[in-house]
């Protein structure tokens, strides 16, 4: 039996894939009315890091993307299996992507090249015994024991000269000073890519870039259901119930340059996807490198302002998705 939601509202802060998926699940699995779902995005386009923008004259920008494969993205494939294709009526988005990938399988013939442009032989990962032992130890070490250890504090210098490191780092955007915990998580999640990292044969390609192939169809699926998309809207601060520390009572926002406040009533939900893999990124060109951006983005600023207001958030950033409801019970 479906629950009656009355006038309850759900607010997603951020217009990336997580918020779009959350909106689909609410409508599809919970019977939540689409007209009561609100997605607030600071950019002028949805997709978060999977944005797509530009034109033929000025060039195109696609800041991020997912290395899709069958083994890792089970939840996403299930979701896309219920979203209709935009270009091929009668097919789901999952079927459209699979059909295209089967017709155009990935097989890289040049994963690494040297400074003269010569293709390198990467059939060997290039590990020595110390690299293997360090890798094995990393995989079995609990995350609390790793703490704030960096990758280059865990592995010896030789590891960063291996074919494996060059391929893994460029595939997943790792730097030696990044978190060893995060590196371990990617190792466990993509372990099956080891035998094919030199060709990337496990990568599933979409017909277009992931913005046009995934974000646009999700948007077009949700919009007729009444889901409210508010673009160029930055959430700058959260107000909390006195003495509570977790119940949001208002969101302070800037809409198109104008300050405003969204009141959160009893029964409403606020879902924040705090953080972005392209937060604070800067763009270069074909003739100039991107400049170093040392400023804090809006996601980090929102975390800092909320932390000062609330005692219930602890001293470390929350997991990527946090529910905050009037019962004061967060769930992830």
Q: What is the Cα Rg of the chain in Å?
A: 22
From 73, 166, 186, 208, active-site residue: 186
- Tokens representing 209 are 């870039």
Within 10 angstroms of residue 165's Cβ, the number of other Cβ atoms is 20
* Backbone φ and ψ of 94, nearest 5°: -60, -45
Residues 6 or more apart whose Cβ sits within 8 Å of residue 245: 310, 311, 312, 313
Its sign, for the CA torsion 132, 203, 290, 233, is: negative
- Tokens representing 143 are 């995350």
Long-range contacts of the stretch 195-198 (C-beta < 8 A, 24+): 197/111, 197/164, 197/167, 197/168, 197/171, 198/108, 198/111, 198/122, 198/123, 198/163, 198/167
* Backbone φ and ψ of 19, nearest 5°: -70, -40
- Tokens representing 304 are 């800092």
| Residue 166 known to be catalytic | no
- Tokens representing 242 are 């006195």
- Annotated catalytic residues are 186
């Amino acid at each position: 039996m479906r629950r009656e939601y009355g006038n309850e509202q759900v607010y997603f802060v951020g217009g990336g894939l997580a918020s779009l998926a959350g909106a689909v699940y609410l409508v599809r699995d919970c019977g939540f009315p689409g007209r009561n779902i609100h997605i607030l995005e600071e950019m002028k386009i949805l997709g978060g890091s999977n944005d797509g923008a530009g034109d033929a004259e000025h060039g195109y920008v696609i800041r991020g993307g997912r290395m899709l494969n069958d083994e890792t993205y089970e939840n996403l494939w299930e979701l896309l299996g219920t979203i209709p294709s935009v270009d091929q009526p009668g097919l789901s988005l999952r079927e459209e992507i699979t059909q295209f990938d089967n017709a155009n399988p990935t097989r890289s013939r040049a994963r690494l090249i040297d400074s003269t442009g010569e293709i390198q032989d990467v059939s060997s990962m290039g590990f020595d015994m110390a690299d293997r032992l360090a890798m094995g130890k990393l995989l079995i070490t609990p995350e609390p024991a790793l703490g704030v250890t960096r990758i280059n504090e865990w592995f010896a210098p030789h590891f960063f000269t291996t074919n494996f490191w060059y391929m893994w780092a460029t595939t997943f955007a790792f730097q030696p000073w990044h978190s060893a915990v995060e590196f371990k998580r990617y190792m466990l999640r993509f372990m099956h890519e080891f035998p094919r990292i030199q060709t990337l044969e496990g990568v599933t390609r979409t017909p277009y870039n992931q913005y046009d192939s995934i974000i646009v169809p999700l948007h077009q699926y949700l919009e007729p259901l009444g889901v409210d998309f508010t673009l160029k809207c930055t959430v700058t601060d959260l107000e909390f119930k006195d003495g509570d520390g977790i119940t949001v009572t208002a969101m302070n926002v800037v809409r198109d340059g104008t300050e405003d406040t969204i009141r959160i009533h009893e029964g409403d939900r606020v879902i924040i996807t705090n953080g972005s893999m392209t937060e604070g990124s800067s763009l270069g060109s074909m003739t100039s490198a991107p400049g170093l951006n040392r400023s804090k983005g809006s996601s980090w600023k929102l975390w800092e302002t909320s932390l000062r207001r609330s005692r219930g958030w602890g001293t470390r950033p929350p997991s990527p998705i946090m529910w905050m409801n009037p019962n004061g019970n967060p769930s992830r």
